[in-house]
């Protein structure tokens, strides 16, 4: 539980400092927003640290190998995403799909948004049909495996690694939502970067917390 408390304290401090910095030092807001600047570099370092930390825990031996493998993969992917997969470092020419340059993982969300918007404008009936099929599939799977899902959640939902993992996903989703540009407000760009940095920290603490976590009840 101490890792969860530590993250929550750091998260609050980060958001307060970032907000005050944005408000009090308008000439230096690029440190919060600009690519390859302070916040983005801190995010990349946090993700890379998570990758190495999880890898060390795996080599040392653990009862939570699968979650740590996932966290290590996400740490590496997050680091590569923050540095645009080396595009600027190595002067690469990244591919484009439907006018969207693929230099980060969240660009696939942008592509999906464009396709959904195009489908909604051109063939709204097909969009409703796809949404309906997706809802039916989700409901069927949930009903089919409801006992297994209930048992799994009852074993882990109150545990710090699960909460930290949930916060990681939540912060990333909020950052992705801002990145879609549905609301054009400059300050949101700073909030997006702060959310991404704190998501990386949540994953880092999740790795620590998972290493100390007892095995889930059977």
Burial label, 195 (beta-carbon count in 10 A; 0-12, 13-18, 19+): buried
25: left (phi over 0), alpha (psi -120 to 50) or beta: beta
Could you tell me the two tokens for 137?
């599939």
List the one residue out of 171, 161, 163, 174 whose CA is nearest residue 198.
171
Q: What is the pLDDT of residues 6-20, one digit of tens each?
A: 999 999 999 999 999
Q: Which residue has better confidence, 40 or 98?
A: 40
pLDDT, residue 82, reads 83
**Residue-averaged pLDDT of the chain:** 80
pLDDT of residue 127: 61
Rounded to 5 degrees, what angle do the CA atoms 13, 159, 43 make?
Answer: 40
The pair of structure tokens assigned to 197 is 């940095």
DSSP, res 218: -
Percent of the chain past pLDDT 90, that is, above it, reads: 27
* Tens digit of each residue's pLDDT (9 = 90 or more) over 36-88: 788 888 999 999 999 999 999 888 877 778 889 999 999 998 888 888 776 66
**Lowest mean pLDDT segment, chosen from 10-14, 94-98, 160-164, 168-172:** 94-98
Which DSSP helix (H) or strand (E) runs through 100?
strand 100-101
Q: Are 4 and 205 in contact (CB under 8 A)?
A: yes
| pLDDT recorded at residue 51 | 94
Q: Give the predicted TM-score (pTM) of the model.
A: 0.76
């Amino acid at each position: 539980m101490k890792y969860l408390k530590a993250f929550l304290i750091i998260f609050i401090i980060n958001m307060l400092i970032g907000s005050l910095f944005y408000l009090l030092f308008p000439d230096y807001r690029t440190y919060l927003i600009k690519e390859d600047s302070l916040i983005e570099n801190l995010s990349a370092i946090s993700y890379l640290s998570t990758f190495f930390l999880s890898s060390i825990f795996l080599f040392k031996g653990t009862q939570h190998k699968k979650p740590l493998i996932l966290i290590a993969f996400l740490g590496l992917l997050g680091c590569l995403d923050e540095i645009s997969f080396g595009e600027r470092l190595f002067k690469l020419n990244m591919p484009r799909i439907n006018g969207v340059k693929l230099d980060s993982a969240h660009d696939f969300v942008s592509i999906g948004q464009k396709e959904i918007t195009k489908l909604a404008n051109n063939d709204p009936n097909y969009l409703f049909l796809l949404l309906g099929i997706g809802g039916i599939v989700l409901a069927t799977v949930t009903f089919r495996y409801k006992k297994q899902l209930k048992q799994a959640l009852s074993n882990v939902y109150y545990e710090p690694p699960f909460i930290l993992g949930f916060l990681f996903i939540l912060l990333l989703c909020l950052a992705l939502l801002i990145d879609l540009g549905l609301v054009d407000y400059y300050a949101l760009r700073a909030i997006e970067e702060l959310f991404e940095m704190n998501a990386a920290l949540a994953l880092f603490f999740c790795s620590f917390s998972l290493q100390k976590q007892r095995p889930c009840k059977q």
